[in-house]
Amino acid sequence: MGHSNLIFSFFENNLINWFVLIGFLCWLVAKYMPNILCDRQDKINTALGDASRARAEGEAFLEAQKSKIANSEVEMDNILSEALRVSREMKGRLDAETQEEIAAAGTKIDLEIAAERQLVISKLRAATATAAVQLTQRLLPAAITDSARSRLLDQFVVQLEVPGRSDEN
């Protein structure tokens, strides 16, 4: 402590020494402070320039992202409308194909019914003919003469040969 008092004791009563000290400090400040302040100003200006560029880049990136979002929304709407259009077309095609299949099945069923009907008619004719022949063979030989028998058989064969007559009866 005695040592630090020694430095200041030199300046205690001497006003000129105080002015010299203040002058020396001002000279030091005048010599080194402009460089320090210029360096500091350059650093601040560089930081402000970097911040300005970063802000501009950020705003450009933000605008790009906004436009991408807007474009993606428009693209999403386009994809959705295209999907709806395709689904409507597919539904229409499926409905048309279903109607065609129904019509084809109806036609096929009608043809099968007609074929079965013809088959049943043919079987019925064959059974009728067999029954008529058997009946004729059993009952008529004693009751009918040869000329009547020949005439009846001819009429029966003619009736069997004409297909429209048996359908009408």
Domain boundaries, the chain: 2-168
pLDDT tens figures, 20-51: 888 998 998 888 888 888 888 899 999 999 99
Instruction: For tokens 């693209």, name the residue.
Output: 75
Range with the lowest mean pLDDT among 38-52, 65-79, 94-108, 133-147? 133-147
- Chain-centre distance for alpha carbon 141: 85
pLDDT tens figures, 8-28: 666 566 777 778 888 998 998
pLDDT > 80? residue 162: no
> Exposed, middle or buried: residue 8 (CB in 10 Å: 0-12, 13-18, 19+)?
exposed
pLDDT score recorded for residue 141 = 67
pLDDT score recorded for residue 169 = 47
pLDDT score recorded for residue 136 = 76
| Cα–Cα distance for residue pair 163/117, rounded to 1 Å | 14
